[in-house]
Amino acid sequence: MAPTVDAKARETEIDLLERAREVLPAGSFGNIALDLIIKEGHAGRVRDMSGNEYVDFLLGSGPMFIGHAHPDVTAAVQAQIPLGTTFFASNEAGIALAEDICAAMACADKLRYVSTGSEATLYAMRIARAHRKRDKILKFEGGYHGMSDYSLMSLAPKTLANYPQSDPSSAGIPARVRDEMLIAPFNDLDTVRSLISEYAEDLAGVIAEPFQRLIPPKPGFLEGLREITAEHGIPLIFDEIVTGFRFSYGGAQEFYGVTPDMCTLGKIIGGGFPLAAVVGSEELMSHFDAAAVDPDGFLPQIGTLSGNPVAAVAGRATLEVLRRPGAYERVNETGQRLMDGLAKALGDAGVAGQVVGVPPLFDVFFSDEPIVDYRATLRADTAKAKIFNDALRANGVLKGDSKFYVSLAHTDDDIALTLNAFSIAAKAVANA
């Protein structure tokens, strides 16, 4: 799997890493920080500049759901680029992709493009505020909704305060933002019901990852959340940047059978290019239309690259692949084989750990207690997780600190190599 590394190639890679430290804070783009530089990716694998090849479960943090350099996506992009890359005006590919998305997502009457998931969640919360004419948003502790001031509240709180108090997870956030975000525990419907009932008159909306990071919702939790918010007339926003078109073609809302008022989409819909969107009901999305709402309800939104045709054709090609018979069955079969193999490797090595998630998206927590919310994840052994991840990488498997993203492109050979790496990594944890 890992070829003999050419000394000159490794020297070049090391030189690039040193150059990066000169011009990039912490020597990275702010994403995953590894002492390697990816040179290329094809299907379910990537290769670094030293020549090492890895089965890739990072997948660009999820967008490459049908694999790297998929020929259909590549062909669509190559056909578009000579015609122009962006126009700051409507284009046919962007309109057609919007039609595809609105047909797929149960909550979607209309759509507005942005370029990043952070923008999408920011605008979704802004729509809720414009609609309800209230300021406060309820989110769930540990939930990730991008990099805006509001989204970063209690993403990784430094102190575990009493609910609904929020805690900034970044420097540079105005102190007053703390008062506008209410925090609730994921999967605790009684607490959520109590908080929403208490703050209903002040709440603009509720935002949630229907599958929070790696934590599945308990049976009835999303249904209860939908019931409570509807009872009080509070818009419910599902952040489906990760789950959209991954859990099923209709996203987590189809997978779990719960329809929000709005959702945010990203990653997969751009086919590996910068593209995201906020979608929702006609009533809510009308706030983007100055002719459809009162002046004080209008929400201006401008983005230089929003809906650009290159990303749109890549997204359309990706969705076309996913509509083919058997696509989701294959991803789920691949993921289930990996999850089962990981659980077996841990058991054979005598290591206490829980494989948490669903076949397209999972990981292991080194803990013997149920992982039901953010605070439970804090009690997992992160030192063991690092040993495990380092051993995987040394044996030809690449992933982030958390999450295995499974793709349609992963092959039987990829699975076999990964299962062998699981066995080696589990033994490394046992022997540490």
Active site (catalytic) residues: 144, 239, 267
DSSP, collapsed to helix, strand or coil, labels residue 240 as strand
Burial of 53 (0-12, 13-18, 19+ CB in 10 A): middle
Phi then psi dihedrals of residue 89, to 5 deg: -155, 165
| Angle, CA of 94, 97 and 266, to the nearest 5° | 95
Residue type present at position 355: V
Are residues 63 and 267 in contact, defined by beta-carbon separation less than 8 angstroms? yes
How far is 377 from 245, CA to CA, in rounded Å? 26
**For helices 382-394 and 412-431, what crossing angle results, to 10°?**
130
CA dist., res. 357 & res. 399, Å (int):
15
With vertex at residue 371, the alpha carbon angle to CA 145 and CA 410, rounded to the nearest 5 degrees, is: 70
DSSP codes of every residue in 249-298: TTHHHHHHT---SEEEE-GGGGTTSS-EEEEE-HHHHGGG-TTTS-GGG-
Look at residue 7 and give its three-state secondary structure: helix
CB 205 within 8 A of CB 132: yes
CA 69 to chain centre: 20
Query: How far is 150 from 363, CA to CA, in rounded Å?
Result: 27
